[in-house]
Each structure stands twice: as C-alpha cells, then as structure tokens.
Amino acid sequence: MAKFMEDCRILTRRELSRGIIDLTLLAPGIASAAHAGQFVNLFLLDRTRILPRPISLCGIDRGEGTIRVVFRVTGEKRGTAELASYPAGTELRVLGPLGNGFPEDLPDVTAVGGGIGVFPLLQLLKELPGKKEAVLGYRSSDALYLKEEFEAAAPLVIATEDGSLGVRGTVIDALNAREKLPETILACGPMPMLRSLKAWAAERGVPLYVSVEARMACGVGACLGCVIRSTEVDGHSLVKNKRVCREGPVFRAEEVEL
C-alpha cells in the first residue's frame, strides 16, 4: 500500500461550529492513493509535540490533488487546538494514506454515523458505485455537521436525541423505524453506538463493518499502542489483538470486541 510523506499547504480553513474545524490541504501524492475510511498523520509545527495527530479523511479530490480533514478540538492545550489555530497558507508535514478503508465493491450499503463519526462517511458515500443511503445521528438539530453535503451524496435519514429533527432517538431507533433491513452497514461513530449497532446487526443477520477510533502514537503499526481485542489470533502479535492503525481502522464487526 502506497504511503507518502508530503509537505502540504492548507488551502482553506473554516469552523463548522465551535471547536469543529474543517481543513482542505494540497496533498497530491496522498490524494492519489487514498480511499474512504483511511486516515492521515499530521505533524505539528511545534516540534516539542513529537507525535503526529491521526485524523480520518473526510474528502479526497484526486483531480485537484487535495484531501479534507474535519476534527474536534479536544482541549486548549492539546495538539488539536494548535492544529485548529493554523490559517490557510500554513505548510504541514503529512503522512498517508494510512490504515485500511471501507470496502468499495458492495452493491447496496447503508452508512451509519454518529456525532463527529459522520465525517469519514461523506467520501465513502461519494465513492460507492451502487445503491446507498445514510443514517446519521446527532444530539440536536443545532449540530447537523455537513448535512447539505450528505443530502447531495445519498438519501439521508436523520436521528436526533432531542427529537428536534427526524427520528427521535439514536441511529438504532432510526433503523428500527425502517420497513426493510439494510443489506450491509458501514459505520463510524462513538464506541457505545458501535456496540449497540453490532448487537442489533448480529441479531438480524446484517453484515456490519465498523470504523474504530483509538488513541494512536505512531499510526503505522510499530508501537502497539492502539491494539483492540480480536476474536482471532493476529499474525503479527500472535495473540488475540489487532492494531487499529494497521489492520483497521475498518474491521468486520465480528473480528473485534467493541
């Protein structure tokens, strides 16, 4: 799998809502090789912060040679706060694409996302060639990240916890409201959502792929800092572990314990 270390220029920066930052970067090598569900490592300008910040790809434009990342600032002293402070024109070193993305050859897919986990699903819906739809869960209608872009990419069902828009409740409530079971689900979101979705899909025999988030150090599989318990012995570690950054972040749900 091709990887590139590139000096990338931030072309655009915008704040979708407080603490949610949307960056587009010129990265022709990474864009040429990237697929939906993969991530990149962004190295900060503050060299005292040795470790890069792994962020999933929200958009890939191979023609323009650009990638898009959307992330949440997790604290004033965290690396994401520094990354959020960079204006357009800043040059960053970026490594990618990393990890394994979503399968792209499925004929009928329901993409399910929750919270900031919706971002990697946007490029997925743009790339999928067959029948597709999205079921997205938000806390309220005040935080409908990228709603218009999702509507342009695929038919969209929204669930809000406060009932301010769409189905009241979670993505599980939205799936239960359907007349027909999904053929295959590709999901990204917080771990409690993925656990519930795994149980729901297993009970109904629906194939499920999950994109798992984990704290990463190296992002390339060397440090074993992002292992997740697996249901089968891993060929690298020879125990029931898988590296989220290397074997994932996308797994078949039955491969891993959530």
pLDDT digits (tens, 9 = 90+) for 109-162: 999 999 999 999 999 999 998 899 999 999 998 889 999 999 999 999 999 999
Q: Could you say which DSSP state residue 88 is in?
A: T
Quote the Cα angle for 222-191-241, to 5°. 35
Quote the Cα angle for 189-42-71, to 5°. 35
pLDDT digits (tens, 9 = 90+) for 201-249: 999 999 999 999 888 888 888 888 899 998 888 776 678 899 999 999 9
> Would you state the pLDDT for residue 78?
80
Class of domain 4-98: mainly beta
Q: Which residues share a beta bridge with 23? A: 13, 69
Residue with the two structure tokens 């590709």: 186
Could you tell me the pLDDT band of residue 76, with boundaries at 50, 70 and 90? low
CB proximity list for 18: less than 8 A, separation 6 or greater: none
Q: Do 4-98 and 108-211 fold alike per CATH?
A: no
Q: Rounded to two decimals, what is the model's pTM?
A: 0.94
> Would you state the pLDDT for residue 236?
67
| CATH topology for the 108-211 domain | Rossmann fold (3.40.50)
**Structural domain boundaries in the chain:** 4-98, 108-211
